Amino acid sequence: MTFGFSSQRLKRLILLGYPLPQTTTLVFLGLVTLITVLSLAWLSGEPNITEFFNLLCEFQNNPPWWSEVPELSAQYLFLPTLIFSGIAAIIIKVSPQPQTWTRALIISINLAIILRYLLWRSVTTLNLTHPVAGILSLGLFLAELLMLLLSSLQLYLSLKIKDNKSEVNPIAKDIIETKYTPSVDIFIPSYDEPEFIIKRTIIGCQALDYPHKTIYLLDDTRRPEIKKLAQTLGCQYITRVDNLHAKAGNLNHALMQTKGEFIVVFDADFIPTKNFINRTIGFFQDSQIALVQTPQTYYNFDPIARNLGLENQLLPDEEQFYRQLELIKNSVGSTVCSGTSFVVRRSALESIGGFVTESICEDYFTGIQLTAKGYRLVYLNEKLSAGLAAENINAHLTQRERWGQGTLQAFFIKSNPLTIPGLTLLQRLAHLEGLASWFMFGLRIYLLIIPLIYAFFNILPVQASLDEWLYFFTPIYFFQMITFSWLNYHSRSFIFNEICSIQHCFQLGLMVLNTILNPFNQGFKVTPKGIIQDRYNWNHNLALPLIGFWILTALAVLKITILGTPEIDEINTESGISLGIIWGVYNLIIITLSILMTIDAPKPDHYDWFELRRVVQIQIQNQTLWGITTQVSEAGAEIDITTQYPLDFSTQQTIKLDWVEENLSLQGRIKTFHYKGDNLTLQVEFQAVNLSQYRQLIELLFCRPGQWKNQKVPGELRSLFLVFRALIKPRFLFDKKPKIKAMKVSQF
């Protein structure tokens, strides 16, 4: 087995003080070997091991009194669930947004319920009657234990949230009053993005309301047309002769060519609002602050939402990271630098030797190195830029595989946040939570397998009656479902979080295994941008594992329902059938939705539309009309006109649009029009847009301060309705020609 390291490179890493890349791999393989040896010893009847498990089995058969269901009527078994759910509902009603005391109360109850459930699972439900059942039962319990421990760690770190938004206005005043205006270099690293994407990013950066800035396009593909674009727009252009160290190398090369006191980095598809620098640079008046990170948000729809037909309802998973997890990490001093839309102090960056090149996640480990050096990183929870989300499900997973591989390379490099000198225990715990989260995808696969093992091999993984499930498990499930969205500031619903975790689990689980065994076997994979497709596209490579599990799960449910299972004992058989059917149907629903996510909806053009209402004066032939835009893109607009009589319109007619509030005039042609009562709707395609007009259009669509607002996901009941709607009416069957859907943005 090779690990992607030559002997020369290995010696060099040892001399530099880097941990051996094989260490984590050997630990991982050692744990697997230990578990395998113990399992084989038990299966073979090794006396000491067998006696140990016999003692455990005896303990399971004689559990303590507190782990048993009280002798209550059946209707009272749901009482703990009603009590805990009622408490959660009251707290959320009193405090719609988490406050310090309400968050602490919810978290305390949540941790108590988790502990109650784990104690019950550990002392009364394990099936240790024979080795095979015991191995599977212990494996399931271990998977649950790890997932709940990770959840508990996140809850513990959430007890005290620090949000820096309250600090911004006073320090931004110094920038506006020109009391503090250091020089800023803006880096736009680019690798093979389409020209039209780079063009609007450069224009957005040039629109920044800050005097002492210089914009650099860092082209790592050395394209003549991109160099010409930079010259046309008046932007500095930097390239290099190779692509060593990918994005990190590109940034470090530019670092040596420039001299601004601060560096702002925007990916080639991210466009800032005009006030980005004014809102961030003031933090650096504190010399201990090295970096300010802002959230990533997107001006197009997430592919999962598009494929399910849930645009503007299902938010991307990045929303949860930036609205909850990044706040948690910021509160304990472990803010994650996420590669774009951040500002960094040049002197601090130079003190650690520039951007970290030992991992494909240069941003994450650069932040760790700065923190370990004694600098502070600040997270400003204010949306000051927007970028292009992955445009199909394959690109979506490619992006997450890169993030996962780069993050897990922490175990093999000097910048490992768990071992690097200079971090506090809380900071390490916050990074541990992020690292451990990638291993949960493998555990998800195990949870899908367990019902199949029960159905086809008649092995009961959990010895519990239906009454016990109602009494001990239902409270934890419902409490977490009720509080999940509240704790993450309504950025993610519990139901859709479950669905998305299953959709990703096979590819990302395999990525985790590959990374542990060979962490540096793949280089930096750029997420494809500017994708166009005029029809539905089925990603069969992503769908086939899901389809395989769907078929097996459906057969398992049918087998249990029709044939039942051999009698293990009366209670276990009854509860096993109930659990097997419920668990199987639950998995079927989630897997079905995951399969639907792999069918990409059409995306017929490059441009994204925004709900934007602006008054326009329309000149057509000898007529002057007034209308209001409802949707606008770089390519055209949809306009509503109220009229009491039919107008003489035809497609392809040329019209002139004067945007009263924007001092912008554009020429276009009518693509379509239709009447609805007294309301006329025109779809107009812009024509002959010059550079000055295009700049105004980009600033209108992307650069208005405050335009990117936090949306709320639907509540759990509404989410459940949307789930069943997506199941009953799959988009690819019922929406053959999807209409253009516009992103909601602030009107002001």
Q: Name residue 167's amino acid.
A: E
Any idea of the CA torsion for 589, 511, 434, 252, to the nearest 10 degrees? -140
pLDDT of residue 59: 78
Answer whether residue 20 shows pLDDT above 50. Answer: no
Q: Name residue 590's amino acid.
A: I
Rounded mean pLDDT of 542-546? 92
pLDDT of residue 533: 83
Specify whether the backbone of 379 is left (phi greater than 0), alpha (psi in -120 to 50) or beta: beta
pLDDT of residue 348: 97
**E strand segments, 183-286:** 184-190, 213-219, 236-238, 262-265, 271-272
How far is the C-alpha of 25 from the C-alpha of 299, rounded, in Å?
40
What global pTM score does this model have? 0.91
Q: Return the DSSP state at 323.
A: I
Between 72 and 325, the more confident residue is: 325
What are the structure tokens assigned to 574, written together?
């009854």
Rounded mean pLDDT of 14-27? 52
What are the structure tokens assigned to 257, written together?
């060519």
Answer whether residue 5 shows pLDDT above 60. Answer: no
Q: Return the DSSP state at 564.
A: -
Answer whether residue 497 shows pLDDT above 60. Answer: yes
Q: Of 274, 276, 257, whose CA–CA distance to 265 is shortest? A: 276
Rounded mean pLDDT of 606-625? 88
pLDDT of residue 565: 60
pLDDT band at 666 (very low <50, low <70, confident <90, very high): very high
Answer whether residue 3 shows pLDDT above 50. Answer: no
pLDDT of residue 252: 97
Q: Edge to edge, what strands does the sheet with 236-238 contain?
A: 236-238, 213-219, 184-190, 262-265, 342-345, 289-293, 376-379
pLDDT of residue 223: 95
How far is the C-alpha of 729 from the C-alpha of 440, rounded, in Å?
31
Rounded mean pLDDT of 236-247? 95
pLDDT band at 571 (very low <50, low <70, confident <90, very high): very low
pLDDT band at 31 (very low <50, low <70, confident <90, very high): low
Answer whether residue 581 shows pLDDT above 60. Answer: yes
Contact 529, 194 (CB under 8 A): yes
**Sign of the C-alpha dihedral computed for residues 197, 202, 206 and 209 taken in this order:** positive
Contact 275, 202 (CB under 8 A): no
How far is the C-alpha of 742 from the C-alpha of 701, rounded, in Å?
12
**Whole-angstrom Cα Rg for the chain:** 29
- Count of CB atoms within 10 A of residue 548's CB? 12
- Let me know if 635 is exposed, middle or buried by CB neighbors in 10 A (0-12, 13-18, 19+): middle
pLDDT of residue 743: 82
**What is the average pLDDT score of the chain?**
88
> For the segment 402-428, what is each residue's pLDDT rounded down to a tens digit?
999 999 999 999 999 999 999 999 999
Rounded mean pLDDT of 432-461? 90
Answer whether residue 649 shows pLDDT above 90. Answer: no
Q: Of 135, 145, 143, whose CA–CA distance to 35 is shortest? A: 135
Element housing 385 (H / E):
strand 385-386
Answer whether residue 65 shows pLDDT above 50. Answer: yes
Rounded mean pLDDT of 161-176? 88
Q: Name residue 491's amino acid.
A: S
pLDDT band at 42 (very low <50, low <70, confident <90, very high): low
Between 76 and 344, the more confident residue is: 344
The β-bridge relationship of strands 623-632 and 615-620 is antiparallel
pLDDT of residue 245: 93
Specify whether the backbone of 443 is left (phi greater than 0), alpha (psi in -120 to 50) or beta: alpha
Q: For residue 10, what are the CA distances in angstroms to 3, 15, 517?
A: 11, 9, 16
pLDDT band at 106 (very low <50, low <70, confident <90, very high): very high
φ and ψ of 437, to 5 deg: -60, -30
Element housing 159 (H / E):
none
Q: Of 231, 241, 410, whose CA–CA distance to 336 is shortest? A: 410
110-144 b/e with 16+ CB inside 10 Å = b?
Answer: bbebbebbbebbebbbbbbbebebbbbbbbbbebb
Give ∠ CA 415-420-426 in degrees, rounded to 5: 110
297-335 b/e with 16+ CB inside 10 Å = b?
Answer: bbbbbbbbbbbbbbbebbbbbbbbbbbbbbbbbbbbbbb
Q: Of 443, 459, 560, whose CA–CA distance to 128 is shortest? A: 459
Q: Of 671, 660, 587, whose CA–CA distance to 629 is shortest? A: 660
- Let me know if 428 is exposed, middle or buried by CB neighbors in 10 A (0-12, 13-18, 19+): middle
Query: Token pair 């025109």 is at which residue?
Result: 682
Q: Of 435, 422, 357, whose CA–CA distance to 16 is shortest? A: 357
Contact 398, 525 (CB under 8 A): yes
pLDDT of residue 13: 42
Answer whether residue 11 shows pLDDT above 70. Answer: no
Give the three-state DSSP class for 43.
helix
pLDDT of residue 748: 67
**Percent of the chain residues past pLDDT 90, beyond the cut:** 64
Least confident of 12-16, 388-392, 425-429, 683-687: 12-16
pLDDT of residue 127: 87
Q: Of 415, 374, 380, whose CA–CA distance to 273 is shortest? A: 380
Least confident of 234-238, 488-492, 669-673: 669-673
pLDDT of residue 296: 95
Least confident of 31-40, 243-252, 363-372, 614-623: 31-40
Answer whether residue 112 shows pLDDT above 90. Answer: yes
How far is the C-alpha of 368 from the C-alpha of 435, rounded, in Å?
13
Give the three-state DSSP class for 73.
coil
What are the structure tokens assigned to 460, written together?
């009961």
pLDDT of residue 739: 73
pLDDT band at 576 (very low <50, low <70, confident <90, very high): low
Query: Token pair 């379509």 is at which residue?
Result: 672
pLDDT band at 578 (very low <50, low <70, confident <90, very high): low
φ and ψ of 740, to 5 deg: -65, 125
How far is the C-alpha of 419 from the C-alpha of 727, rounded, in Å?
46
Contact 668, 685 (CB under 8 A): yes
Contact 201, 271 (CB under 8 A): yes
Answer whether residue 9 shows pLDDT above 50. Answer: no
> For the segment 699-746, what is each residue's pLDDT rounded down to a tens digit?
999 999 999 999 999 999 999 999 999 999 999 888 877 777 888 887
Between 21 and 529, the more confident residue is: 529
Contact 639, 616 (CB under 8 A): yes
Answer whether residue 324 shows pLDDT above 80. Answer: yes
Identity of the highest mean pLDDT range in 440-454, 455-469, 632-646: 440-454
Q: What is the DSSP track for 275-295?
A: THHHHHGGGGGSTTEEEEE--
pLDDT of residue 575: 52
pLDDT of residue 62: 83
- Count of CB atoms within 10 A of residue 682's CB? 26
Contact 471, 80 (CB under 8 A): yes
Q: What is the DSSP track for 103-151?
A: HHHHHHHHHHHHHHHHHHHHHH-B--SSHHHHHHHHHHHHHHHHHHHHH
> For the segment 124-168, what is each residue's pLDDT rounded down to a tens digit?
999 888 888 888 888 999 999 999 999 999 999 999 898 888 889
pLDDT of residue 569: 41
623 Cβ contact partners less than 8 Å away, ≥ 6 residues apart: 647
Contact 295, 383 (CB under 8 A): yes
Q: Of 429, 417, 439, whose CA–CA distance to 331 is shortest? A: 429
Least confident of 202-206, 321-325, 522-526: 522-526
| Helix/strand/coil percentages in the chain, nearest 5 | 50, 15, 35
Contact 226, 233 (CB under 8 A): no
How far is the C-alpha of 113 from the C-alpha of 87, rounded, in Å?
13
Answer whether residue 255 shows pLDDT above 90. Answer: yes
How far is the C-alpha of 317 from the C-alpha of 492, rounded, in Å?
7
Rounded mean pLDDT of 190-218? 96
**E strand segments, 610-696:** 610-611, 615-620, 623-632, 636-642, 654-659, 664-676, 679-687
What are the structure tokens assigned to 485, written together?
């969205």
What are the structure tokens assigned to 591, written together?
């897997």
pLDDT of residue 1: 33
Contact 623, 670 (CB under 8 A): no
How far is the C-alpha of 584 from the C-alpha of 592, rounded, in Å?
12
